[in-house]
Amino acid sequence: MARPPSPIDQYRDYITFLYLNGASRSKIRHKLRKRHHIAVDLSTISRRIASWGLPRQQSRTIETPELVEAIRDLIFRVGLTEKQTLSVLQRQGWPITKRGLKRIRLHPDRRWVRRINSDEERLALLEKTEQVIVEMAQRSNAIAGYGRRFLQPYLRQQQQLWVPRDPLFEMYKIMFPNEVEMRKRMMRRKKGQFLVPGPNYQWCIDGHDKLKAYGFEIYAAIDAYSRNIIWFYVGHSATTAL
């Protein structure tokens, strides 16, 4: 008498999805029991994975500059916890394990990678940062003009506050809305316009000095109406130092 098919087979797509996203066999068994009320042993799951031709899971995380940058971005800029960082990286398709993430994060050459262990710690850090900014603003208006480029490095170097970038800037926009709006207005640049009646009415002449240090310069003239290049010159000029 033939053996009846195992109920695990009807959840092949679900198991495949979990497996390819880095879930261990124990975790797959737990999810099957919790979500679908199916009790299977680990050997059955292993046999099915082998029979379905699924690739072997990578047991060791391969460190690459792109992966390190992705971890740094999630921890420092977004402010995710280690567990959240691992989940996001795995969903993005990075072949990384919990042990591999910790190894990369705690590398001696990577002391800048600091983690937030819980939402409570993250909230406490943001509250402390807000308090420090308020106290500094009461003493001086200088911090209101720091902006995106100087605020985060200042808090790290002077106050030892390793606050993630995105939450910090959201806090800054709430505390200093006038300064943010002023910076936006300063960054908006309107493109200049001019009208010419026809060809050869106005020529625009400009030079390119990036190669000047090597002994030659580039100059050109363009017709403002037709955009045709009238002439160009590449060579030594009277100001070129040889």
Instruction: Tell me the pLDDT tens digit for each residue of 28-72.
Output: 888 888 888 888 888 888 888 888 887 776 666 778 888 888 888
**Residue 233: strand pairing partners:** 219
Residues above pLDDT 70, as percent of the chain: 84
- Model confidence, pTM: 0.38
Tokens of residue 204, six digits: 């625009």
Q: 55, 21 in Cβ contact below 8 A?
A: no
CB within 8 Å of 85: residues ≥ 6 apart:
71, 74, 75, 101, 115
Percent of the chain with pLDDT over 90: 5
Whole-number pLDDT of residue 133: 84
| Band (228; pLDDT cuts 50, 70, 90) | very high
Higher per-residue pLDDT: 100 or 229 = 229
Give the pLDDT of residue 221.
Answer: 94
CB distance 95 to 70 below 8 Å: no
* Helix (H), strand (E) at residue 231: strand 229-235
Neighbours of 47 (CB within 10 A): 13
Average pLDDT, the chain: 79
